Amino acid sequence: MDKLSNPQKTIEVLKKYQFNFQKKFGQNFLIDAHVLDKIIQAAEITREDFVLEIGPGIGTLTQYLAEAAGQVTAVEIDGHLIPILEDTLSAYDNVTVINQDVLKLDINQLAMEKNGGKPIKVVANLPYYITTPIIMGLFESGVPLKSLTVMVQKEVAERMQARPGGKDYGALSLAVQYYAEPYLAANVPPNCFMPRPNVGSAVIRLTRYETPPVAVKDEHLMFGIIRAAFNQRRKTLVNALANASELSMTKEQVLAALEALGYSKTIRGEALSLKEFAELANYFAKE
Ligand code: SAM
């Protein structure tokens, strides 16, 4: 089987199997060899790596991964793609395909079975409708991870790597940056996919920290504060936190905390860095 990474070969395979794209599964297949090379380079794949691919489609990226990695497991929800993958990946003896919804897969167990519990790399051209649950699920479930190198919607990539103050900065930036260091590897235009998505895309690598960059006594409380701060981002932090039903803080308590930490009374959440949110959460955890 020739490489799939061009429009002719992709069309040939789709026709052979009379495959119909399913919009509900976010199916936009890569057809650009340059972008595929970029993903492999950004993920720094070597023969030492066990790679989990989420959503292999017809196997375009899987072929590149199989050639660079030690072992690859690819998880695909759409049963119609399984016979196609058997065909397109038949030349590789280091690839396993699992027909399942990745959100229901026990990835901790997979990493244990396939990689002896050592950190794995996740590489994917993600289905955009579940980008955030996939990424946050991987971080929060404590799967041993070296890095995640993923194609996502361009604006989501921008939010993940945004710094305080800008319009893209928010709860997603802080959640991602608590667990990983983001690196934007490439911007990818719609014509690199079949069918073309309506949005621009980007490849982002998230390298998992061994320990978070800030020390937090109560992670649940910190993320509660962050959510409350950005739920009402036009309000001052004092009002946003005092109004939040998931927190039990009075206006006076928040004002006292801001004063103790040396922040302005009128500060908004979008001005606070991860370190500052951690300090604020630690202040309340102490109380
Ligand atoms: N990797 C292929 C490529 O780059 O050409 C296909 C990428 S396409 C954007 C996303 C893939 O994820 C599709 O094959 C889709 O069927 C699959 N998918 C969607 N939801 C999924 C889920 N919950 N679990 C596993 N795979 C899923």
Q: Which amino acid is at 216?
A: V
Atom of ligand 1 nearest to the CA of 102: 24
How many A from CA of 209 to the centre of ligand 1? 26
- From atom 22 of ligand 1, which residue's Cα is the shortest distance away? 101
From 77, 84, 106, the mutation candidate for ligand 1 (largest count of ligand atoms within 8 A of CB) is 77
| Helix pair angle (60-68, 33-43), 10° resolution | 40
Distance, in Å, from the CA atom of 208 to the CA atom of 223, rounded to the nearest integer, reads 18
- On whether 259 is known to bind a ligand per the annotation, the reply is no
Distance, in Å, from the CA atom of 49 to the CA atom of 57, rounded to the nearest integer, reads 21
Give per-residue pLDDT as tens, 220-272: 999 999 999 999 888 999 999 999 999 999 999 999 999 999 999 999 999 99
Percent of the chain whose pLDDT exceeds 90: 95
How many A from CA of 2 to the centre of ligand 1? 21
Predicted local distance difference test score (pLDDT) of residue 287: 54
Atom of ligand 1 nearest to the CA of 56: 1
Q: Is residue 220 within a helix (H) or strand (E), and if so which, with residue range?
A: helix 219-231
- On whether 115 is known to bind a ligand per the annotation, the reply is no
Distance, in Å, from the CA atom of 285 to the CA atom of 274, rounded to the nearest integer, reads 16
Give per-residue pLDDT as tens, 49-97: 999 999 999 999 999 999 999 999 999 999 999 999 999 999 999 999 9
How many A from CA of 208 to the centre of ligand 1? 23
Give per-residue pLDDT as tens, 180-196: 999 999 999 999 999 99
Sign of torsion, CA 97 103 106 108? Answer: positive
Please state, in angstroms and as integers, the Cα–Cα distance from residue 256 to each residue in 265, 271, 274, following that order: 9, 18, 20
- On whether 125 is known to bind a ligand per the annotation, the reply is yes
From 35, 76, 89, 123, the mutation candidate for ligand 1 (largest count of ligand atoms within 8 A of CB) is 76
Global pTM value: 0.96
Distance, in Å, from the CA atom of 208 to the CA atom of 210, rounded to the nearest integer, reads 6
- On whether 282 is known to bind a ligand per the annotation, the reply is no
Distance, in Å, from the CA atom of 62 to the CA atom of 76, rounded to the nearest integer, reads 11
SS3 25: helix
How many A from CA of 233 to the centre of ligand 1? 33
How many A from CA of 79 to the centre of ligand 1? 11
- Specify burial of residue 183 (Cβ count, 10 A radius: 0-12, 13-18, 19+): middle
